[in-house]
Each structure stands twice: as structure tokens, then as C-alpha cells.
């Protein structure tokens, strides 16, 4: 059994255990759904029909949200979303999350250092331009910060202005395709986590140019800025890379579910699931 297969097997077992722990931590009204939309669509599909029979789909919004792992934006048109005004999590949870962020980001840098050096050399030797790429993103409470990534595109990639990456985007270098597919290009953001601009888990930070458009076209989009952005997130393990307003609308459903229900257990589950996403290379462009 190869190392990737072994790692995937282990993460499936861990995912199941963490899912049970998370269900146990839910409020009783939500727990009666007996569902956690986690180990992915392959696990979700066989149980969906049975679970729907156990929930009053009109009366139990909490159960519906946990069933789908997302917030239904259409139910809250023109009004506040339940649970968002007061973000869940006491001082102990927030403090624990920050400690976990520091420890995890330092461990990530330490254990991947040989890989990072190799990637840096490959970028330097195979394309013109700097190894790292710094870009402005929108963080908690709308504050701007500079995100750090390995450069995966040509240096003149945005000479015509900002735009989302497309499928088989010609601007992406050959080494860039590899590091984007495996999410290696995101590892330098561990520095942003140590600085406190980001968390290890949270909604992915968006660019100001796109945020301005999405705030106008998607109700409640600004709510995702109530927490720190993350290196990985609930939307990232449940939805593919987004390159349109409609994709952003769909990912917002997952982001708001995370904001309403975030906990250390849920964070740990997302981290474990991210491993399989990186190994399988799903959702990248």
C-alpha cells in the first residue's frame, strides 16, 4: 500500500471519529438530525433519504443546515441570518484556536522545509520572476493585508487587470500547475498565520477587487469577514475552486455554516479532510 493510499485511509478513519465528536457537541435540536455533512458526497448520499425522513424540513432549520452543511441564503433574504450576529465561541475557544494556529503553522513550516526549498529552486530555475508572490486580500472586519504565496503564474499574468483563474489557464507555469493542484503554493501563508492576519481554518480571503463586486451582488457576503480568513476552510473541502459570482454565492453558504458552528473539533476535522484534498488534487485550477 503506497504512502498516499495509507494517508487517505488514516484520514477517513479520523474523519469518521471527528464527525461523531462534532455531532455529540451539537445542540439537541440539531443533533436529532443524526448527520454531519462530512466525509464527502460518497458518504452523504446513502444516508440523505433516511435522514430527511427524520427531520421536519420546514420547522427545523438547524437540522436542515446540518444536513446540508450549509446555510440557505434564500431563507434570509432581506434580514439577518440566525446565529451570525453573535459569532459562536467563547474566550477559551478563541484562545485555543490561536494557540493551535501558532503551533500548526510552525509545524507546517518545519516539516515541509525541504519541500519548500525544492519548490523555490524549481520556480527560480524554470521561470522568470520572483519565487514568492504577495497580494492584497481582505481579512477580518474588512481589513486589508498582504498574503504570501509561491508564484504559480507568469510575472505579467495580470497586465490586463485582476481576473479569476480559469481551467487550464495559460498564465499558470508548468511547476505552477503542480503546486496549485497539491496546494503547495499556499504553504507560505503559514507566515500570515503566525502574524495573526489569518487562521489555519476559516473562509478563504478574497481580493478587494472581487470583494467589492461580490458585496454588491451577493446578500450577506460581508458576513464572512466576521472571522479571520483561513489557509483552508469548510467551503474548500466541500466545493471546487470558484471562478464566478455564482461559485462565490455557493461557497458563502458553506462559509456561513462554518462561522455559525465553528469549534476546535470542526477545525480539526477540516484540517484532516484537507489532507485528502491535497493528495487527490481536487478543486484546483
Mean pLDDT comparison of 52-56, 63-67, 221-225, highest-scoring range? 221-225
Does residue 138 contact residue 211 with C-beta atoms inside 8 Å? yes
Lowest-confidence region among 52-61, 89-98, 254-263: 52-61
Judge whether 272 lies within some domain: yes
Across the range 173-180, mean pLDDT stands at 90
pLDDT of residue 172: 87
Judge whether 167 lies within some domain: yes
Judge whether 59 lies within some domain: no
- CB under 8 Å to 275, separation ≥6 — which residues? 7, 8, 11
Closest CA to 237 of 174, 192, 280, 186: 280
The radius of gyration of the chain's CA atoms, rounded to the nearest angstrom, is 19
Lowest-confidence region among 37-41, 229-233, 279-283: 37-41
Judge whether 196 lies within some domain: yes
Q: How confident is the model at residue 55 (pLDDT cuts 50, 70, 90)?
A: very low
The proportion of the chain whose per-residue pLDDT surpasses 90, expressed as a percent, equals 38
Please check the confidence at residue 48 and state whether its pLDDT lies above 50.
no
Does residue 55 contact residue 67 with C-beta atoms inside 8 Å? yes
Please check the confidence at residue 192 and state whether its pLDDT lies above 80.
yes
pLDDT of residue 97: 87
Judge whether 16 lies within some domain: no
Judge whether 233 lies within some domain: yes
Domain range for 245: 70-280
Judge whether 62 lies within some domain: no
As a whole number of angstroms, the distance between CA 268 and CA 273 comes to 9
Mean residue pLDDT of the chain comes to 76
- CB under 8 Å to 170, separation ≥6 — which residues? none
Judge whether 7 lies within some domain: no
Lowest-confidence region among 1-5, 71-75, 171-175, 270-274: 1-5
As a whole number of angstroms, the distance between CA 142 and CA 57 comes to 35
Lowest-confidence region among 102-116, 148-162, 222-236: 148-162
Quote the number of domains for the chain.
1
As a whole number of angstroms, the distance between CA 142 and CA 163 comes to 20
pLDDT of residue 282: 60
What are the tens digits of pLDDT across the range 129-164?
A: 999 999 999 999 999 999 999 999 888 777 766 676
Amino acid at each position: 500500500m503506497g504512502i498516499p493510499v495509507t494517508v487517505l485511509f488514516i484520514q477517513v478513519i479520523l474523519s469518521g471519529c471527528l464527525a461523531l465528536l462534532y455531532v455529540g457537541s451539537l445542540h439537541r435540536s440539531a443533533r436529532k438530525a443524526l448527520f454531519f455533512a462530512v466525509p464527502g458526497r460518497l458518504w452523504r448520499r446513502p444516508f440523505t433519504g433516511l435522514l430527511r425522513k427524520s427531520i421536519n424540513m420546514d420547522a427545523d432549520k438547524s437540522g436542515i443546515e446540518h444536513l446540508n452543511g450549509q446555510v440557505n441564503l434564500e431563507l434570509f433574504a432581506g434580514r439577518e441570518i440566525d446565529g451570525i450576529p453573535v459569532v459562536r465561541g467563547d474566550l477559551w475557544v478563541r484562545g485555543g484556536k490561536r494557540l493551535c494556529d501558532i503551533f500548526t503553522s510552525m509545524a507546517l513550516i518545519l516539516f515541509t522545509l525541504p519541500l519548500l526549498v525544492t519548490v523555490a529552486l524549481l520556480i527560480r530555475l524554470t521561470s522568470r520572476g520572483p519565487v514568492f508572490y504577495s497580494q492584497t486580500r481582505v481579512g477580518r472586519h474588512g481589513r486589508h493585508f498582504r498574503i504570501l504565496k509561491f508564484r504559480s503564474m507568469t510575472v505579467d499574468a495580470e497586465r490586463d487587470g485582476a481576473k479569476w483563474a480559469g481551467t487550464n489557464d495559460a498564465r499558470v507555469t508548468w511547476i505552477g500547475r503542480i503546486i496549485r493542484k497539491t496546494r503547495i503554493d499556499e504553504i507560505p501563508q503559514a507566515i500570515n498565520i503566525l502574524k495573526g492576519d489569518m487562521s489555519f481554518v476559516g473562509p478563504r480571503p478574497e481580493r478587494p477587487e472581487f470583494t467589492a463586486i461580490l458585496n454588491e451582488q451577493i446578500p450577506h457576503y460581508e458576513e464572512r469577514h466576521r472571522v479571520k480568513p483561513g489557509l483552508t476552510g469548510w467551503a474548500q473541502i466541500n466545493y471546487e475552486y470558484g471562478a464566478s459570482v455564482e461559485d462565490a454565492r455557493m461557497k458563502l453558504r458553506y462559509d456561513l455554516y462554518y462561522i455559525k458552528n465553528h469549534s476546535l473539533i470542526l477545525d480539526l476535522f477540516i484540517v484532516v479532510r484537507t489532507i485528502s484534498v491535497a493528495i487527490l488534487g481536487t478543486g484546483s485550477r
